[in-house]
């Protein structure tokens, strides 16, 4: 996903993260991105509203059916640890061996598991071979880093069992080349030399369809805590309420507060109106049985 590993200096991503970790003014950002101590970060992510919603979407329950999960581009392993903590058998795939942001960090988490398993795979998804297939292929903030989006999505879909689910979350969306350039200029890691990309939401959906996935679902920037983290839910609801009041007056506010269906519509409408470059979307597709 990132540039090739240099034994002396690491990848640009590792170097950028180390700079952030050493900057006292960026510690909140480091924690929000789960880029602090791997175990501390993994424990927070496993207890987060984001991961709770991921489990709901994927029908994962502690003590339930043991599922086989592929965590693509797992980074420091926060999601691999969280899935394993739910009793899943996880393959943590990350081409970067870094002890800070790669499989080196993942390997430090294995001894802390009380359930499930984690097996590391230090390779790009296109190079991974598997005969069993996965119930779930999960990619958090990964697909926009694939050298070719469609090839990466196809490789992920090809590793699913029949009936399996591919969930890619927190993908950056930009509608035009100008929006992409604006996003890159403002992205904290891009400013540190990390390659970042973003695509129109339709391109992500089409990549999933072309990979043979069906029942495709999409969540916009305010439709799910998966996307709007670290903003609190109350802030998103407040924005949606204000929009209803601005458009429909007092009755709009009353309907918002009184009818859950109106609240859901308003929050979704807020997502539709958001055109900020690099906004977050999530996508789900299933492999036909």
7 or 77, which is more confident? 77
Contacts of 210 (CB under 8 A, 6+ apart): 150, 153, 154
Query: Is the pLDDT assigned to residue 194 strictly greater than 90?
Result: no
Contacts of 269 (CB under 8 A, 6+ apart): 240, 243
**24, 146: one domain:** yes
**132, 269: one domain:** no
CA nearest to 169, candidates 90, 234, 228: 228
Max intra-chain CA distance, the chain: 63
- Whether 68 is in a domain gets the answer yes
- Whether 238 is in a domain gets the answer yes
**173, 253: one domain:** no
- Whether 4 is in a domain gets the answer no
What pLDDT digit, counting tens, does each position of 146-163 carry? 999 999 999 999 999 999
Query: Is the pLDDT assigned to residue 168 strictly greater than 80?
Result: yes
CATH number where 187 lies: 3.40.50.150
CA nearest to 142, candidates 285, 275, 282, 276: 282
- Whether 27 is in a domain gets the answer yes
Rounded to whole angstroms, the Cα distance separating 25 from 23 reads 5
Contacts of 102 (CB under 8 A, 6+ apart): 14, 75, 76, 94, 95, 96, 122
Percentage, residues of the chain above pLDDT 70:
97
Rounded to whole angstroms, the Cα distance separating 232 from 63 reads 29
Q: Which of 10-14, 164-168, 268-272 has the lowest mean pLDDT?
A: 10-14
Lookup: tokens for 114: 């009380």
Rounded to whole angstroms, the Cα distance separating 142 from 129 reads 19
**20, 77: one domain:** yes
Rounded to whole angstroms, the Cα distance separating 82 from 71 reads 11
Please state the separation of Cα 29 from the chain's center in Å. Answer: 17
**156, 121: one domain:** yes
- Whether 46 is in a domain gets the answer yes
**68, 165: one domain:** yes
pLDDT bracket for residue 10 (50, 70, 90): low
**214, 235: one domain:** no
Rounded to whole angstroms, the Cα distance separating 263 from 277 reads 25
**147, 237: one domain:** no
pLDDT value of position 11: 81
**253, 132: one domain:** no
Asked if 147 and 4 count as a contact pair (C-beta separation under 8 A), the reply is no
**101, 203: one domain:** yes
**155, 237: one domain:** no
Asked if 69 and 134 count as a contact pair (C-beta separation under 8 A), the reply is yes
What pLDDT digit, counting tens, does each position of 73-125 carry? 999 999 999 999 999 999 999 999 999 999 999 999 998 998 899 999 999 99
pLDDT value of position 5: 38
pLDDT value of position 188: 79
The residue segments making up the domain with residue 255 are 231-273
Q: Where do we find the tokens 């590792």?
A: 14
- Whether 2 is in a domain gets the answer no
Would the pTM count as exceeding 0.85? Answer: yes
- Whether 45 is in a domain gets the answer yes
Residue 70 β-bridge partners? 91, 137
What count of Cα atoms within 13 Å lies in the side-chain half-sphere of residue 28? Answer: 2
Contacts of 163 (CB under 8 A, 6+ apart): 286, 287, 288, 289
Average pLDDT of the chain? 93
Number of domains comprising the chain: 2
């Amino acid at each position: 996903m990132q540039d090739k590993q240099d034994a002396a200096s690491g990848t640009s991503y590792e170097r950028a993260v180390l700079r952030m970790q050493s900057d006292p003014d960026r510690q909140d950002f480091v924690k929000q991105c789960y880029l602090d101590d791997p175990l501390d970060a993994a424990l927070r992510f496993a207890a987060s509203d984001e991961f709770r919603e991921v489990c709901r979407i994927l029908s994962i329950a502690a003590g339930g059916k043991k599922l086989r999960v592929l965590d693509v581009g797992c980074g420091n392993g926060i999601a691999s640890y969280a899935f394993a903590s739910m009793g899943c058998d996880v393959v943590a795939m990350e081409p970067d061996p870094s002890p800070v942001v790669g499989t080196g960090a993942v390997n430090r988490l294995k001894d802390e598991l009380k359930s499930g398993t984690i097996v590391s795979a230090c390779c790009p998804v296109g190079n991974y071979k598997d005969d069993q297939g996965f119930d779930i292929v999960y990619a958090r903030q990964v697909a926009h880093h694939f050298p070719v989006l469609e090839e990466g999505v196809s490789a992920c879909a090809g590793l699913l069992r029949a009936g399996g689910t591919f969930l890619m979350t927190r993908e950056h969306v930009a509608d035009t080349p100008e929006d992409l350039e604006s996003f890159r200029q403002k992205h904290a890691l891009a400013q540190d030399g990390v390659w970042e990309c973003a695509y129109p939401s339709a391109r992500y959906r089409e990549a999933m369809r072309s990979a043979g996935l069906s029942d495709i679902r999409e969540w916009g920037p305010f439709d799910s805590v998966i996307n709007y983290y670290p903003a609190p839910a109350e802030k998103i609801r407040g924005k949606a309420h204000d929009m209803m009041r601005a458009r429909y007056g007092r009755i709009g506010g009353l309907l918002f507060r009184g009818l859950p269906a109106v609240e859901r519509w308003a929050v979704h409408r807020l997502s539709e109106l958001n055109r900020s470059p690099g906004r977050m979307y999530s996508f789900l597709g299933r492999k036909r049985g």
